[in-house]
Amino acid sequence: MLTLKTIREQPSTVVARLAVKGFDAEAIAAEIIALDDERKATQTALDANLAQQNATAKEIGALMKQGNKAAADVAKSSVAKLKALSAELEQKLSAAERLLSDKMVLLPNLPSEQVPAGKTAEDNVTVRQGGAIPTLASNAAPHWELAKRYDIIDFELGNKITGAGFPVYKGKGAKLQRALISFFLDENTRAGYREVLPPHLVNADSGFGTGQLPDKEGQMYHAAIDDFYLIPTAEVPVTNIYRDVIFNPADLPVKLTAYTPCFRREAGSYGKDVRGLNRLHQFDKVEIVRFELPENSYAALESMVEHVESIVKKLELPYRILKLCGGDMSFASALTFDFEVFSAAQQKWLEVSSASNFESFQANRLKCRYRTEDKKTQPVHTLNGSSLALPRIVAALLENNQTEAGIRIPKALQSYTGFEVIC
């Protein structure tokens, strides 16, 4: 969340930077400042009222000691009126604060100066590319056909049990899922990330803390009776581990990794681009999360990007890294790099990871801070990245490695799967 101080002191900067994200903030910023002015005026009036009540109460005591009951009664009547006015002012102040908060959470995070201009994914900038795109036979099959041929993923069975977007992994398909999860976690822990296993449901405070609420209610599954949300990513519960925490600088950075299933409605998804594993309602993902001192966060982001790149290389997949333009960024991000792998049978790039720096946006919501040398507190910077999301990794592995003898497993995974070929 942007701070009120930033909005008040730099309104033109806020409006200009959010325009890079395609967000028109001029009216909301002006309304926030006006609401804050109203809040301040109401608070001043309330403080004056309470001071007058205290002064009059002391006056009543003095008048009673003097035996001047008539004057004391007049003063008591004045206090009663002041109390009634105080109640009105408190209600007005509460309403102003509530409306101010409601308006402030509508503003996205400011994009970094590094963010390129642009409105859609077509405007994203390729940072670098690696790996060789395989040349497949003319009869190469997409992964949903391979999954059926080798009986490793059953989309129809998942549809029977739950609905579209909930596949059942079977045999070597299930083993491949488990192997990838273990491989990703091992790679992350070797890089210094501490493994955690968080809850898969969160409360509304957690969703608000990381910026999913009130921005993405429509994409999240909601257990209404308990007011819990199924997590769309491990970022939500893992980042909220440090909600309302004050770090000592020596405790930073904190680096965490977690595997969880993820749940997303993906409302309105249809067509060929969502076939098979391309877009699911439930999928597995391994996440990395970092808490950093502000001056270190962009170096940390680069480190995360290099780490994810090293894993993709070990999977022997052709990949590219994109710097997202303003129009393609998330609500909470200040700078995001996406990873895509090439799907040879589908002849297209598939997103498998996003690594983002949120700067202090999430920390302001989480009240996650560190104590400075002068004993003051400042918000930390939070970062997260997919390391990695499994569905499209699996799709690319199946399609890019299909041979007449079966589907070849990359060498780095063979000790995890216990087999070299799916046949």
The full set of domain ranges for the chain reads 4-104, 121-422
H/E run at residue 136 = none
The model's pTM is 0.93
Give dist(CA 110, CA 29) in Å, integer. 13
Q: How does the average pLDDT of the chain come out, rounded? A: 95
pLDDT band at residue 217 under the 50/70/90 scheme: confident
Residues 6+ apart with CB under 8 A from 292: 252, 253, 300, 380, 381, 382, 383
**220 within 8 A of 232, measured Cβ to Cβ:** yes
Q: What is the mean pLDDT of residues 112-136?
A: 95
| Alpha carbon distances (Å) from 53 to 75, 76, 89, 105, 342 | 10, 10, 14, 36, 72
pLDDT digits (tens, 9 = 90+) for 287-302: 999 999 999 999 999 9
| Helices 172-190, 390-400: crossing angle, 10 deg rounding | 120
Does residue 422 have a pLDDT over 80?
Answer: yes
DSSP state at residue 293:
-
The 3-class secondary structure across the chain, one letter per residue, is: CCCHHHHHHCHHHHHHHHHHCCCCCHHHHHHHHHHHHHHHHHHHHHHHHHHHHHHHHHHHHHHHHCCCHHHHHHHHHHHHHHHHHHHHHHHHHHHHHHHHHHHHCCCCCCCCCCCCCCCCHHHCEEEEEECCCCCCCCCCCCHHHHHHHCCCEEHHHHHHHCCCCCCEECCHHHHHHHHHHHHHHHHHHHCCCEEECCCCEEEHHHHHHHCCCCCCHHHCCEECCCCEEECCCCHHHHHHHHCCCEECHHHCCEEEEEEEEEECCCCCCCCHHHCCCCCCCEEEEEEEEEEECHHHHHHHHHHHHHHHHHHHHHCCCCEEEEECCHHHCCCCCCEEEEEEEEECCCCEEEEEEEEEECCCHHHHHHCCEEECCCCCEEECEEEEEEEEEHHHHHHHHHHHCEECCEEECCHHHHHHHCCCEEC
Q: Shortest CA distance to 366 belongs to which of 213, 195, 201?
A: 213
Q: What is the mean pLDDT of residues 224-248?
A: 97
Q: What is the mean pLDDT of residues 385-395?
A: 98
Q: What is the pLDDT of residue 61?
A: 84
Q: What is the pLDDT of residue 25?
A: 97
| β pairing state of 282-292 and 348-357 | unpaired
Give dist(CA 144, CA 159) in Å, integer. 14
Q: Under CATH, domain 121-422 is a member of which superfamily?
A: Bira Bifunctional Protein; Domain 2 (3.30.930.10)
Q: What is the mean pLDDT of residues 367-379?
A: 96
Q: Shortest CA distance to 39 belongs to which of 114, 92, 75?
A: 92
**246 within 8 A of 203, measured Cβ to Cβ:** no
Q: What is the pLDDT of residue 268?
A: 47
pLDDT digits (tens, 9 = 90+) for 247-273: 999 999 999 999 999 999 975 455 556
Q: Give the amino acid at 121.
A: A
* Chain-centroid distance, C-alpha 381: 13
| Start-to-end C-alpha separation, the chain | 51
**4-104 and 121-422: same fold?**
no
**Residue 253: count of CB within 10 angstroms of its CB:** 17
Q: Under CATH, domain 4-104 is a member of which superfamily?
A: Serine-tRNA synthetase, tRNA binding domain (1.10.287.40)
The two three-digit tokens of residue 296, written as one number: 């270190």
pLDDT band at residue 74 under the 50/70/90 scheme: confident
Does residue 155 have a pLDDT over 60?
Answer: yes
Q: What is the mean pLDDT of residues 119-142?
A: 93
Q: What is the pLDDT of residue 270?
A: 52
Give dist(CA 420, CA 249) in Å, integer. 46
Percent of the chain whose predicted confidence (pLDDT) is above 90? 88
